Structure 1
């Protein structure tokens, strides 16, 4: 079938014309009217732009021609001035040659100078200056000011033409210059021609030109009549002539207000120090040109104004039609884009309207539903009686504001849940013409609601079965939002237990019931997002009412109603605390047993150590008895012997007291302990064993080392155990006497950016094998024949109980193991840090 649009086109139409017609017919009437009104306006604007562009182009062409004329005339004037200067230069150079050949004396020079000055008005004066800058002869025009007239015999003043005089002498060529004077001398141009007598410099012939005369007589009359001619110096200052005054800046932006045409060229042979500039006098466009231009502008503006008025009138006329079309399209688009199904019934229950969403939900087309009466095709067979009763209630006006839920059958037979809302349909005359029903598919919300309900039941079941107490309470309120079964068993249904655990756990309490704060939000101003994202806080508390130890974990959370709440989870850790206390008691007994074992192993060494002072006491007493019986002792010797006996007894008592304090079982007592004292005590105890095994012991403690918050007996036990193990390792390795040494070092350092005190024991034994290194801290693991395997394990337990770390490493000399280093670090506590800072202040 032929397209009706193509049928209207002429057979011989051009393709571009045919395309234009098709495009025009596809436009709406509103767009066609808008284009029809904008096209003339655009044509007028384009015509005006073309007129302005043409006028501007012609003006630019005229300006280019004027600029070329100025350039040509200024260059012609420059040639005339140049020729005039060269002619005067040639004449003065003839006189200079005659003076150099001694053919002219001073009197004849005056005559020839006078003829030149009189013949050429621009030449103001001609002077003969010898090599000593003395004026031999000079002639000047009578019009020259008396201050510039030179007298024969005078010497040129210092600075006057001095540089040019020297330049002419050095170059032996004519040199032009302008004296740096002011007033009348500013308009003088000087020519220095060197004089040579037998190839020797004998002075200069100085010719002085009037720059104003040079401009007046050098520039052709026809050029000076057309242009404002001026002579400028190197800095652009006017030396002669007058310039065209500058234009008004306000008129510079007009298209016909062009800049004055001018051209500059240096005057040869003077050079850039004398520039000739010509400026064309300003000319206007004329009344006829400006009038035509403004006439075109006025006519174009009038035409545009009339077209705009006609277009605005057409727009107002079409507004009603466009508003009606837009409103209809909007309502139709809104109905088609709604996700809620809409159905309209008349007063007899017949379907009069359904939207696209209703058809999409049910699967029935609009033509299949409009005009149908009950029972409708989307009613399930099992629910028809119920739905008929509902429809009867609707028609009678018995509807509920909250709507009601029904099942709807799709065209393919599947069912879905829907909620219907019914309202009266009122026309423009306020008469009811039927009923409007909106339908929403709630199958997915029902499924989600069922899942949430099941999830809530599972969640509640899990929380109720937990072995931990869980409670949630809002901040600033006595309300208990949630409590599981164990919480209710322990504390009932009140918030007292929740608040008690929060207070005992040390969680920061926020002010409540404060009149100065907002009654709605007690945490006004606090960053609640940061609170809810923070990690939970843990604490262990004892509840006397329950007789239990509880581990309390708390964190902030946003409750379902948006309030900031605090959740507390409490776990019964009473059995664990009892086990920890039992483990601590066993560890304490293990420590005491370890010290007893250590002293048992050192028993022979201790007996040997005590034997020396006891033997000395016995010898002193026997000697005193013998000398007293023989009456061979005086009072001074008696006192000296008794003093030595007392010191030996004191030494034996100190050894016994140190051993008693080391092996004595006592409760852990952490105090600020002096490191030097602990090291001294440990060295003296272990020194007995090291001397028995013929091992040298050296120790170093850093100066001004801070005190540590430790149990000194336990730290001494670790040091003694490490020193004794070092001596046993050296003896097992059978090192020679020169290599039987143990070094103990105590220095402050940094570990993971935390200040610590490092204790290290370095021996020269055979080190630890790799398999031993992995199990060296295991309980009951030992490499000794008679060892129990609790020494290093106990040492590590003691160090870690002081929040420290312990490490063992072999020392290598090339590929050979040269010894082993056991190190442990004890962190500085707050009190230790303050003491260290105080010591640092004293040092400073």
Structure 2
């Protein structure tokens, strides 16, 4: 065998390799031919062994990777099946909760419940039955699927067995929330799960809606069909008990011990909202390798042995060919990469700026052929005439190496004369020896992205112009972040560029209770239980806050949005309501002045009656004093008689003082001061003043005040003003109707009521006058409208304003005796707050006073 050193045409190596190479040749020449042959074979043999090792290692590695991918697929599909089950269970739970609410609201009776339960069971084949269960575990009514087992056929009046819900009924009763039972095994139907949705009846546990699920039905209809087709899906308990499905049998063949043998992939997750008592488990099995795959390794081994022999004969003859092949492969790969650049146009320039190469994509973009472009110099045919100077300067920068890393945008003319825009990226073109031979340019058509970007810019400009022209400050920021995503012109003018204003408004809104919707009495958060994406559909909340830094009152509306990047953000819209607040304060001030003026007018109209009322005790005091002086002068009065006369004189003076004190308290101007007030005391104070005017009109006043009335959080002076005004109007109506003495009476009744689901105290004033004309009944509460010729039209308007400011209502209606009007009735009620109702006041059950006119005493 010839020595490798006999090849005189081998390329000479670098100078530093000359000495080792000379030593190697001398050592190799001293070896005998047999030893040379053994060493020549050892190299290829080691290569083949390494090759086989690499093959087996790669097979094991890719088998492991494939197993990991299959495990990830099992986990992903199991999670997908769990989500589908969760959504299906939550949809059924929502239907049952609506059904329970209808039962609690008494809008569904037993017959209607059966119809609705039948519809739910028919629509959801995994449901076996839906029943209405009473508070003592009795079955009220319900519906069971025709295919349901015997234990699910519950009849009305039956009691639930203790083991039928596994304690879920007691949990639902105690926690007042939907409860799922643990899987229950039945000899006739496999395993089932019971869902209990409780409801309340007058704030007490009123029972529950019971729905029984078939675990096998949940597996069949709840798990997606594509998951069932790929895996063996089973439902198991937390202790591994099988409740539904068929598990895979383990593989016990000898091939299963091989590294590439099939392995069962398994993953399990708890089913929400049932909990850890029921798990969904998916198992997948990798297919065994066939005989061809096994034979592949034997073929590789045989080919490796043959390669050893082939290497021994071809080692010397392939050395130079491999070198040429490497150069050819490099050149071929370069050309292939240029040709296979897909839609990106490629252009190569030499150092003088001459085109040396263009690919097919470049020709397709410009419309010029390869023959027309290669060898051309600037200006190139695809340059627009109007852009020659600009593009020439750009080409000079490109040749000089002054290129932007992000590329540059240029117009390009097609052969047909049309223009499109392209983005070019330039990089040096280096040959195999590391020398730069030119510049490689890639070109991408950006006409459509440029048009879309311009349209988006114009759309954003229009959007920003509209928002900047609004009078409201608008800001958008992510939750729990200092980043400000958007702010219009008004916001920037008020708060500046940063997110401090947004945070300041949120801080002020947190210290002020959010204004609830009108007639909204449920204080439970309306967003509890909703998924995060349902927040964007929630009703916007609004709050009125004072910003001391601006000196403005702002009405802030807040809403949750899904931002363009998918984040949940909060938008604040702040409107300046300073002028409106000032107007409301002025209106409130004018209303207070009107109330004080109304009291003064009322007392002015009652002046003569009050004077007459005060004249009686003053005359009695004068008479008692004159009588005592006369008898003392005659010596006819002893100490006991003098003491009795003085006591009578004191009582008359106290009577006159009480009348004056009531008048002073009534007409005194003061700010509204709501306090916990005694209803009976307010009625007594009002009737004491109003009775003076009623006696002047010879009208009898009958009063009934119920016992154990709660105290009210009101301003007692304002409520007394309403009562005096209504009683005085009643007396004037009777006087105007000219009723006979037996029919001249007014009734005042104060009783507790329940109105619109709230506890209230109702005040009713009835008279026997001529009533109110039917065509004027709807207008009597309007400002400056009066049914009396001398009336000012502000009394009843103020009365309604006072009652509504205390969250009450004032109504009026005529009383009829057949078709004849027999009088009028004014009714108003004031709600009782919970703390007021907790401390009721005890009064006599009724006070019925028949007061006759002065002339009939």
> What's the TM-score once normalised by structure 2's chain length?
0.47
> What's the TM-score once normalised by structure 1's chain length?
0.48
Larger of the two Rg values belongs to structure? 1
